[in-house]
Structure 1
Amino acid sequence: MPSVEISNQKAFTSEIQALTEIKHHNIVKLYGFYSNSQFSMLVYEFFEGGSLDNILKNDEQAIVFDWKKRVNVVKGVANALFHMHHCCSIPIVHRDISSNNILLGSDYEEARINDFGTAKFLNPNSNNMTTFAGTFGYAALEIAFIMKVNEKCDVYSFRVLTLEIIMGTHPAKRISSLAGNSINNDLLLSDVLDSRLSPLTKSILDDVILVAKIAFSCLSDSPQSRPTMEQLSTQLARTPKSHSEDQFHTITIGQLMRD
């Protein structure tokens, strides 16, 4: 069981409150904590695979992290966020969903959301204004500009994370170009997927297309236009539309958005 020393008392308290409230298979388990006047420490379950960020940056590990495992991780994170947003007594927003805060087991098939130091309980009687929290490149724009937080902030981060999982690297500048003209974008889906992996087989092809469609559906900068995690989790649980391998090689980003 790893322990993490926390220097920020507010983050320490937030982490304990959130992990005490949330009980879900895809959220890291908190086994205990210790605090005195010098330092505070949290004790978590140990995940041998390490962070998703490190796995994607290592070519050898990224290849082992195959398409089936990547789809499972996306579904696991979606289910955990759905639980946080819609099934807890008070909705909880993580505010820092990134590949560095997703831990995987040794087989890379099970995901756990980690690091709840910036998590926020949403008050239905408040505007939920906040200071900036999160990781640049994953944080929703409204947090940086209007300092308002809601569940759609995590949806934005989930979309970036999902793109990173299927592309094999952070989408970075590609996000703005895709968001600006996604419906008419003639870029082939096959050209943006992680080229380190073996070609998609029929058994997983439809699932990957569905995951990609969901990722691109969250591109809107407007929180009101983003789907909820309940909607995304429900979509991921459905049997995906069937495609042939020939069809796959003609699918564009614009097509995904229009279908």
Structure 2
Amino acid sequence: MALRVLNVLCLLLLVLVFAMPFGWMLSTSLKTLPETMIFPPAWIPKQPVWENYAEAWKTGPFLKYFMNSFIVAIGILICQALTIIPAAYAFARYKFAGSNLLFGVVMVTLMIPAQLIFLPVYLELSALKLLNTHLGLILPFASSAFGIFLLRQGFMQVPEELIEAARLDQASEWKIIVRLMVPLVKPVLVTFALFSFIAHWNDYFWPLVMTTNETARTLPLGIAKIREVEGVATWNVLMAGNLILVAPILVAFFFSQRHIIRAFVYSGVK
């Protein structure tokens, strides 16, 4: 009984640690500017100021930023699905000369920071006239070494007998991938999709490098403009903008958490 109580207390502590920043962000976004400056700070605003969200939205073309972020994040997801699924299946189920070496090369790319390769990528996209375009923000991330690794591990856990049975039924390799393998590793695929969506929805560096005007700029760059327009002291408006930024991520996590839990449970059982 004591151990169970200790476990519950530890879980509550973890929840508090992770939830506190979001609670503070929400609290600050509903305060007046003077309330954000008082010390000691108050968690609950005296009078919620919902106008902070409207003010943050009006600092720039936020609808355009929002749509750009959505197009880029979903476009990257689609491209990654088209590349990592067949690649992971090939690495998991085919043994060919140099397969281990090629997989090692894929894994090595995980250790290369984006800041190291952004210049050649920038020059290449500039030569292709893809700067300030959605395609220019999508193509550098059209595949994912982490995604290939994650799906390969999932595909390797599928019994070989199932694949052999499908081949005996004259199923093509593409049909095996689409109708058999992908549904079996759906929790893993959804987990990767969430990680990818969060990473590229929040990405600040690449859109900053690859865009010079408002044509394809994304929401994180729009949030950064609040400080330029309103001044560095307007933390209430800035936090309102950050909540606008994080809201789609929370929605995506809410709808995918069941699959994430299943992915970890499935991996643990296997």
Shorter-chain TM-score range = under 0.3
Higher relative contact order, structure no. (Cα contacts within 8 Å, ≥ 6 residues apart): 2
Q: TM-score, normalised by structure 2?
A: 0.25
TM-score with structure 1 length normalisation?
0.26
Higher Cα radius of gyration: 2
Hey, which of these two has a bigger chunk of helix by percent? 2
